[in-house]
Amino acid sequence: MSLIIDISNIDTTYDHLFEARHQLTWWPWIGNKFNSANKKTLILGESTYNWNPKSEQVKERINRKDHLRILHQNHAIQLNRKSKYVRNIERAIFQSKSPTLADKEMLWSTVVYHNLVLRPMATLKHRPSYNDYKLGWEEVLYISDILTIDQCIVYGLENNKITSLLEVLKNSNINYEHNKISSKIGNSRPSVITLNTSNRPLKLVFIRHPSAFFSWKNWGAFLKNEILLPSQNAYVSK
């Protein structure tokens, strides 16, 4: 897998702001057409992990600010790679079992991708702490502000993930509306939180993590009712 970022795929114009934000462990992926999208969308994953704790090379890689970008390039931009969490969200957004390569390319070129948790988990079995989520939400709010994000798809429905966001909003004096969806999708109940910030509303839609047991048809239909999907989000040519 490549350890080099193809900068033709990403927008690096905000990197000087990320550089000054020392608590932002890894910089988000910003598609190269993101700023031309009619609705600016953040897709928020959860965490990554240290897949080889004994390797100095892996440790060095994880310590790089572009670590998340490399991961996203290797899993998402390699359009034929079978990474479930990537391919399932594409299926949901395009409502197709087999989105075209052009569809996938359009999606990842027009959105931001970021992870909420800003430290690597020791193994796949480890889970983030409540404080991990709180620290992560503070950086998500920062990123959303400077990138003027309109809508966010959040992977995962853990109670700690949602209550930690509400605590951060309260501490930051940000007003919000929390819509707890009454009907379930499978065994999961989605949630929607809309922030009423001074600049613009920001809608966060919490869905089941698309890595496993993910009904892309049902979750895609739900997303379509809540936000302007990137598949519908034509960008303006510049």
For the chain, list the domains and their CATH numbers: 22-226 (3.40.470.10)
Instruction: Name the pLDDT band for 238 (thresholds 50, 70, 90).
Output: very low
CB 186 within 8 A of CB 76: no
Average pLDDT, integer, range 12-32 = 96
List pLDDT tens digits, range 176-189.
Answer: 999 989 899 999 99
Beta bridge partners of 49: 121
Instruction: Name the pLDDT band for 7 (thresholds 50, 70, 90).
Output: confident
- Whether the model clears a pTM of 0.85, i.e. scores above it, the answer is yes
Instruction: Kindly report the three-state secondary structure assignment for every residue of the chain.
Output: CCCCCCHHHECCCCHHHHHCCCCCCCCCEEECCHHHECCCEEEEECCCECCCCCCHHHHHHHCCCCHHHHHHHHHHHCCCCCCHHHHHHHHHHHCCCCCCHHHHHHHHHHEEEEECCCCCECCCCCCCCHHHHHHHHHHHHHHHHHCCCCEEEEECCCHHHHHHHHHHHHHCCCEEEEEECCCCECCECCEEEEEECCCCEEEEEEECCCCCCCCHHHHHHHHHHHCCCCCCCCECCC
Res 49: pLDDT: 79
Res 79: pLDDT: 78
Res 236: pLDDT: 47
